[in-house]
Structures are given as structure tokens and as C-alpha cells.
Amino acid sequence: MNRIQEDHMKLPQNHHLPISSLAGIFGNTTATYKFYWFVALMDIVVKERKTKISFWEIIAGMVAESWYPIHYFKLSFGKSDSLYVQSLALQRELNIPIDADKKKIKQTLIDNLGNSRIKSLLRVFILNVPYRFLSPWIKYTNDGDVVSRSQQFENECLYAIREESIEMNPRWMDYLAEHYLILRDFAFWNLTVFLQKRNPNVPDVPSKLIKPIQRDSLTKQHKFWDGYIEIVGNINCIYTGKPLLPKQYDLDHFVPWSFVSHNLLWNLIPADSSVNSSKSNHLPSLDRYLEPFADLQQKALKAMYEKNQNNAIFEDYLIVYDSVSELIKLSEKDFYTVLKKTFSPMVQIAENMGFKMWQP
């Protein structure tokens, strides 16, 4: 572990609390449960000031917090992680939208606890998580032993377990409230490290852990394509063949944003407005669409570069080629090859993760 990592993981000290135990909650972690248990627990304790909390409410929070990376971004949680599998089953049972709001997901799960199928899917997280989470304070032997020792708040453990609920140690309440944001960052930083190892070829894992409040504007990208259309008069949508006019088209992420998590120009193409809704977060057929995509990209890049080569937006292309001035000089075949080398592994990885091919 390097010095930057060590500094990042330091938690605010408190002379009356065993902070080293709290800092060790993610040690020897083989699944995502502890990360999401801690985040869900903190949200309830800090935002609602509850001291007695049902296992089921925390578990509903765990599922809600992990919903977006599982369903929208399709991150792998690892073979030994039931959260991924159970979440997929819950989505099928309750038909919750993949991009639903976290509060709505949690409330939907709580409202359906009377459904034996739903409760069965959630019950797996009761078996170990609440007990083993306390391991930094109470060395795990068996559930019963942890329960009895936690009820004495042994070693100032975070909470006591009472049947299917927890009771917070009052000595931790102010600390959690005061340092909530730091502790949340601590959990997500550790979760990022954990998931990055299980998704080594997936771009920008940190941004895929929570639902973005708002996507970045595509104003600069629209200005680029408007400028090109004004130069050539008109272009046709590569998907539908329909003519596209300035400011009367959508910008499509060729490989979906939910995989790439960026708005770089080399992955954007003007498209008929009907395409964005039908293509959504599906993958394009490279055999069918890469050639017209590359052709339109190359023509636009050349025309706009000749118009103003100092436009900072051209830096977007430095990810696919080390020199924009050399990229525009490539033949049609070589330009296509550059994009094929970029997109082929991306599409294959995305497909392996569970992204579906678009069937227009």
C-alpha cells in the first residue's frame, strides 16, 4: 500500500473510541456485503437518528445502494457474492426499473417484506453479515457468542444484536454524525479497490458506484456536429438513413454511456431521435454500424480540424490515437482500423458483463 492510500484511509481520531477497530471493518473482505451494510447502516443512523434498527431495513438499504452498479452499470461483484444474484432476482420479482431512485427501491423492498418470496431472497444477508461485521471488536466464534458479547458493547463495538435488529452503541452516535461524509468516502474508496480488481477492464469504476445526480452537458459536442453539418449541408443517420439537420438530432453514445461513463467525441454520433430511446444502453453491431460510424467520424474530424485545429475538443481523440494531426491523415481503411481496435474489446467486455446487443 502506498503512502497516498494510507493517508486516504486514515479516519478521524477519537480518544474515547477504538477507531482502529472501525478502520478494520473491511479487512479480509471477500464480498461486498460489509461495504453496503456499513453505508446503509450509517444512512439510517445519521439521517434518521435511529438507534434501534431492524436487520431488514438495513438489508433493504444495502440492495438499494448497490442497485445502480449492478443493474445499470452491470459491474461484476465476484463469484462469491450473493448480492448481485439476489438483486437480479428481486428486480425480476418486483419489476423495479434499473434506474429507479434509491429511496423508491428501499421503500418497495420494505413494503414487500410480507411477500415470502421477497423475504427469502433478502434473508441470505441475515445469516452472516450482522455478526461478522463486528469481527474487529469481537472475534467471531459463532453467532450466539457474538450476540451475547455485543449486548455488553464489548470493546466498544458499534452495535448490539438483539434478535433480528441492532441497537447502536450510543458512544458512536456523535462520531458517525460528525464524520459521516468521511466515513462514507472511506467505505466507497475501499469498495472501489475491491470492485476494480473484479472489473479490471471496465473504465471509471468509481463513478459507477452511485447514480449520478445529473449527466454532463453535451453542449460542446453538439456545437462540433452542428458546425460540421453547416459545412457539408446535411448528413444522414447511420442507423436509420434519415437526414439530420443542425439542432434537430440526438447525440448517441455508440458504446453506451453506462459502460464508458464519458462523453468523449470519438464515441458520439448524431442520430435520429427515435434511435436514442430504442438503442438505450444496448450495444451496436460493429459488423453493421462501425464502417458508417468511422466514415462519418473521419469526415467530420477532418472538416472541423481544418476549420480550427486549436479547438480543445480534439483532445478527446488522443485516447484512440496519439496525434490528432496524424489521425486525420490516415486513409479510410487505417482510420477504420484504429476505431475497430478501440471498439472491439470494449464491446466484447461489455457483452461479457451482460450488456445486450441492439436489435433495431
Summarised one tens digit per residue, pLDDT across range 175-228 is 999 999 999 999 999 999 999 999 988 888 988 888 775 667 899 999 999 999
79 has a pLDDT exceeding 90: no
Residue 8's pLDDT is 45
Q: How many CB atoms lie within 10 A of CB 342?
A: 16
Q: Quick one: pLDDT at residue 219?
A: 93
- What integer pLDDT is reported at residue 353 of this predicted model? 85
Average of per-residue pLDDT values in the chain: 92
Please tell me the predicted confidence (pLDDT) of residue 231: 93
Q: What is the tens place of the pLDDT at every residue in 26-70?
A: 988 889 999 999 999 999 999 999 999 999 999 999 999 999 999
Give the total residue count for the chain: 360
Contact 137, 171 (CB under 8 A): no
For the stretch 265-323, pLDDT in tens is 999 999 998 887 889 889 999 999 999 999 999 999 999 999 999 999 999 999 899 99
Task: Output the pLDDT for position 26.
Answer: 93
Query: Where are the domains positioned within the chain?
Result: 3-208, 219-353
Instruction: Inform me whether the pLDDT recorded for 112 exceeds 50.
Output: yes
Q: Do 255 and 267 touch, CB atoms closer than 8 A?
A: yes
Residue 328 has pLDDT above 80, yes or no: yes
Contacts 24+ apart (CB under 8 A), 338-346: 339/266, 339/290, 339/293, 339/294, 339/297, 340/286, 340/290, 340/294, 342/266, 343/254, 343/255, 343/286, 343/290, 344/286, 345/201, 346/255, 346/259, 346/260
Q: Between vectors from CA 104 to CA 101 and to CA 110, what angle results, nearest 5°? A: 145
Distances (CA, A) of 265 to 218, 301, 309, 312, 315: 10, 10, 15, 11, 9
H helix intervals, the chain: 3-9, 19-23, 33-48, 55-67, 82-94, 102-111, 116-123, 129-132, 143-150, 170-178, 180-198, 219-232, 257-260, 273-279, 286-307, 324-327, 332-353
Kind plus residue range of the DSSP H or E element containing 253: strand 250-253
Residue 131 pLDDT level (bands cut at 50, 70, 90): very high
User: Which DSSP letter does residue 208 get?
Assistant: G
Q: Is 349 strand, coil or helix?
A: helix
Residue 1 pLDDT > 60, yes or no? Answer: no
- Tell whether the model's pLDDT for residue 2 goes beyond 60: no
**All residues at 6 or more sequence positions from 217 whose CB lies less than 8 Å from its CB, including other chains:** none
Average pLDDT over residues 106-134: 95
pLDDT of residue 9: 57
pLDDT at 359 over 60: yes
In this prediction the pTM is 0.77
Q: Which residues of 218-230 are buried (b: 16+ CB within 10 A; e: fewer)?
A: beebbebbbbbbe
Q: Return the bridge partners of 270, or none.
A: 251
102 CB burial (10 A radius; 0-12, 13-18, 19+): middle
- Which pLDDT score, from 0 to 100, does residue 213 have? 59
Residue 7: predicted pLDDT: 40
Please give the average per-residue pLDDT across 16-29, as a whole number.
93
The string of DSSP letters for 126-158 reads TSSHHHHTTTTTS--S-HHHHHHHHTTTGGG-S
